[in-house]
Amino acid sequence: MMKGLHVHGVSHAFDGHPVLDNASLTIPAGELVCLLGPSGSGKSTLLRIAAGLERLQRGRITIDEQVVAEPGTHVPPEDRGIGLMFQDYALFPHLTIVDNVTFGLSRQPRHRARKRAMEMLEQVGMEGHAGKHPHMLSGGQQQRVALARALAPEPRLVLLDEPFSGLDTSMRAKIREDTLSVLKQSGIATLMVTHDPEEAMFMADRIKVLSHDGRILQAGRPADIYYQPVDEYVAMLFGHMNLIHGVVSEGAVDSPMGRIAVDGIDEGRAVKVLIRPEGFVLTNGVDGGVGTPVEVISTHLLGHSSIVRLRVREGKNMGAEFQVRVPGSFDAAEKGRLSARIDAHHAFVYPEG
Ligand SMILES: Nc1ncnc2c1ncn2[C@@H]1O[C@H](COP(=O)(O)OP(=O)(O)OP(=O)(O)O)[C@@H](O)[C@H]1O
Ligand SMILES: [Mg+2]
């Protein structure tokens, strides 16, 4: 038996407007899959259908091989064996922390439920706050309690909808790590929704990228999504790209910083080349003739990296500008004369139009 979540060909519409178009996914036990997509692409809708909060219209959902939803079948959310955690999953304000976690364990004898709740609070590092009320905790602490509550009943599947988006950056990083380690220890299937690509990269074993109209554009490991994006939209998920227009000739396309090999696109075809800002190699001096001489227009320190604008100094592409990301700070005066070339791992070629 294959444990985990299966979503088979789910399509969904609200008042005649299609939201999901034949979405399928499989999450084996122990794996975390992220749904990544723009606002309105149907991420929460798919999650709510899996949870049973929204009635399925077309397709089928199984959890540990039990059909929980298909046309004519609707297992209610509380009988699906799922743990839920949302961005604004408010804890019950009038209950203590431990009672919040015990809430979903009402089928167990009270002392057993309490023992389990304390174990879960310990796992998320909140056992010292058991007797407090939610308003006495920070947002991050409340989110840990929500995680403990979701996992306490030993669900078969955990569904997370942008669980960290209400937290500030430093808190988010920490809670994200802790949540991941708790989920990995529990060995259950997890479906998480986010529109933050970095969060998806960090958390996911596999990522499903949804289009604005609810189709799955690409599915793969984080490295596949980053290094082999199937189209311009997926490539652009990770932010600004440098754009060059060109034509395929002899299996490559010209760029101001050398030729870029093209695979699987016909000769003579007009193409777009997208190059990530981190996809440049900068060297001092003339780089033995491999790089293109460039000058620095501006630099901006962002913290752990800098954004540097470069302009080609000579040749037929003189004046072409690029945005480059380099680790740490960047002192243009100290670097002297610079050459730049493109790292092919960060350059993507797609047919125009
Ligand atoms: N109950 C509903 N009734 C009518 N339309 C709905 C309902 N729920 C969602 N929609 C619509 O379905 C589309 C998808 O919504 P959904 O909440 O699934 O998007 P999302 O991908 O989670 O977006 P976000 O990133 O903003 O959370 C949106 O156009 C939304 O307005
Ligand atoms: Mg949503």
Rama region for 340: left / alpha / beta (φ>0; ψ in -120 to 50; rest): beta
Contact between 150 and 192 under an 8 Å Cβ cutoff? The reply is no
Decide which of 3.40.50.300, 1.20.950.20, 3.90.220.20, 3.40.50.1820 is the CATH code for 4-236: 3.40.50.300
Is the Cα dihedral 269, 272, 275, 280 positive or negative?
A: positive
Domain with CATH 3.40.50.300 in the chain: 4-236
Cβ of 194 below 6 Å from ligand 1 = no
In the numeric block, which tokens belong to residue 210?
């949804």
Contact between 339 and 290 under an 8 Å Cβ cutoff? The reply is yes
Give the closest residue (by CA) to ligand 1 atom 13: 40
Strand ranges (E), 92-149: none
Query: What pLDDT is stored for residue 333 in this prediction?
Result: 76
Cβ of 42 below 6 Å from ligand 1 = yes
How far apart are the CA of 238 and the centre of ligand 2, in A? 19
Q: How much is the pTM?
A: 0.88
Strand ranges (E), 73-156: 73-74, 82-86
Cβ of 14 below 6 Å from ligand 1 = yes
Contact between 212 and 225 under an 8 Å Cβ cutoff? The reply is no
Which mutation among 7, 14, 88 tests ligand 1's pocket best, with the greatest number of atoms within 8 A of CB? 14
Laid out side by side, the sheet with 270-275 consists of: 242-247, 270-275, 347-351
Mean pLDDT, consecutive 10-residue segments, the chain of 353 residues? Answer: 90 95 94 94 95 96 96 94 82 93 88 94 92 92 90 93 84 87 91 92 95 91 96 92 94 90 93 96 72 92 95 87 94 82 94 89
In the numeric block, which tokens belong to residue 150?
């979701």
Query: What pLDDT is stored for residue 258 in this prediction?
Result: 84
The residue among 227, 186, 237 whose CA lies nearest residue 34 is 237
Residue 314: count of CB within 10 angstroms of its CB: 11
Parallel, antiparallel, or unpaired for β 338-342 and 292-301?
antiparallel
Which mutation among 11, 19, 192 tests ligand 1's pocket best, with the greatest number of atoms within 8 A of CB? 19
Contact between 175 and 140 under an 8 Å Cβ cutoff? The reply is yes
DSSP 134: G
Cβ of 106 below 6 Å from ligand 1 = no
